[in-house]
Amino acid sequence: MSNSQQSNILGNASLGLGIASAALVFGIGLCALTGVTQKWIQLVGTPLFICGGSSAFLGLLGAILGVAGLFGKGHSRAASIVGLVLGLGGMCLFFVVVAIAQK
């Protein structure tokens, strides 16, 4: 019986989507909060919301794939866990930015 573990395709996909989601939501959120501070959010609020929401959806997909990647036998679960955390982090960050921007 070998101790080597196979790569986790679902975990790797989850990790990629989680990284993309967290990075995109952070950048778009920073831009949106800057727009609120400088009073030009009215000009670009809708496109920023759509792009941020789409990026948060990537986080949702990453979280779903992360959960799915946890249930394979003989696969490393590290990428699934990190992808799950990053995906959820990207989604939560989107909702935090929306709540702050509405104040």
pLDDT tens for 86-97 read: 999 999 999 999
Q: How far apart are CA 46 and CA 4, in angstroms?
A: 49
Kindly state whether residue 78 falls inside one of the protein's structural domains: yes
Q: Structure pTM?
A: 0.90
Kindly state whether residue 45 falls inside one of the protein's structural domains: yes
Mean pLDDT across the chain:
93
- Residue 2, pLDDT > 80, answer no
Kindly list the distances between the CA atom of residue 75 and the CA atoms of 52, 60, 69, 82, in Å, as whole numbers in the listed order: 32, 22, 8, 14
Kindly state whether residue 4 falls inside one of the protein's structural domains: no
Kindly state whether residue 3 falls inside one of the protein's structural domains: no
The structural domain count of the chain equals 1
Kindly list the distances between the CA atom of residue 92 and the CA atoms of 3, 23, 33, in Å, as whole numbers in the listed order: 37, 13, 16
Domain that holds residue 78: 9-102
Kindly state whether residue 1 falls inside one of the protein's structural domains: no
